[in-house]
Structure 1
Amino acid sequence: MKTPDINCKIQMITPLNSSENSEKVKKAISNIFPYSTINSDSFTISAQSKELRSFEKIYEVIHSKKSQNTYRRYLERNLDNNTTWFYLNKQAAFVEQIAICEEEGESPLGPIKVIIASSNIDEIIDWIVFGN
């Protein structure tokens, strides 16, 4: 897999529930997005990256499980100008699994919202979905 050199900003954000351990939620995000900077406050854990290689694990799962059409549907449905987003299941991410959520309530403790912004967003979607 060759990761294209496209300028982008990737954000991951998830609510931190009072019943959750913030270190475990941070681990869930870093399991899926290893090249990100993680921040937290009392209610939210967020992470940022400007490197498309942050998507390598998701890319690999999309292509190994042949789920390109599912991701394409969500990425295109949520496309707004130069930004798109989708949800990942937080509990799955903690055990290093990638599971897309159709809606916010599908993940009992709240999903991880993944937001991608780029002036070349169509190119990024094509890479995620179709590969090199």
Structure 2
Amino acid sequence: VGESNSYRSLLKIHELIRRERIMDAARSMLRKGVIGNMLIFKVNKQAAYQGRLSFVETDSESPMGAITFIIETDNPYEVIDWLAPKTSMGKPLWEREMPKD
């Protein structure tokens, strides 16, 4: 279990979403994970160990189990807009600054 009080801990996720060009898929998965003031999502543990990012919906989709992120925030959609902005023809429509801690 890891814990952080800073959005800086999500910079690697931010970078991987762009490097792997998965903004639309990431945005869709992240939006599904909004519950009140929380953003919950899971990534494949094997992919993460390889430096890749693969979102999963259940732990069973990852043979080693999934890595679960639980982000408590006043505005989960602000975090999503920063991590995975809307795109047009594969290009982000905007780039937001990292939310304030």
Provide TM-score, normalisation by structure 1: 0.60
Q: Is the 8 A contact 1:74 1:85 kept in 2?
A: no
Q: 2:26 aligns with which of 71, 80, 83?
A: 71
| Percent of residue pairs bearing the same amino acid type | 33
Aligned to 1:102: 57
**Pick from 79, 83, 88: which aligns with 1:128?**
83
Preserved contact between residue 37 and residue 74 of structure 2 (Cα < 8 Å): yes
State TM-score, norm by structure 2: 0.76
**Residues 27-68 of structure 1, C-alpha deviations (whole Å, 9 max, x = no match):** xxxxxxxxxxxxxxxxxxx00011111111111111122211
Gaps of at least 5 residues in structure 1 are 1-45
Residue aligning to 1:47: 2
Query: 1:100, CA displacement in angstroms?
Result: 1.6
Amino acid at match of 1:52: Y
Which residue of structure 1 aligns with residue 71 of structure 2?
116
| Unpaired segments ≥5 residues, structure 2 | 86-94, 97-101
Q: Write the letter of the residue equivalent to 1:88.
A: V
SS in structure 1 at match of 2:41: strand
| Offset of residue 102 of structure 1 | 3.1
| Alignment match, 2:41 | 86
Rg comparison, structure with higher value: 1
3-state DSSP class of the match of 1:48? Answer: coil
- Hey, what's the Cα distance between the residues in 2 that align with 1:114 and 1:76? 13
Q: Structure 1 residue 108: deviation in Å? A: 0.8
Superposed CA RMSD: 1.4
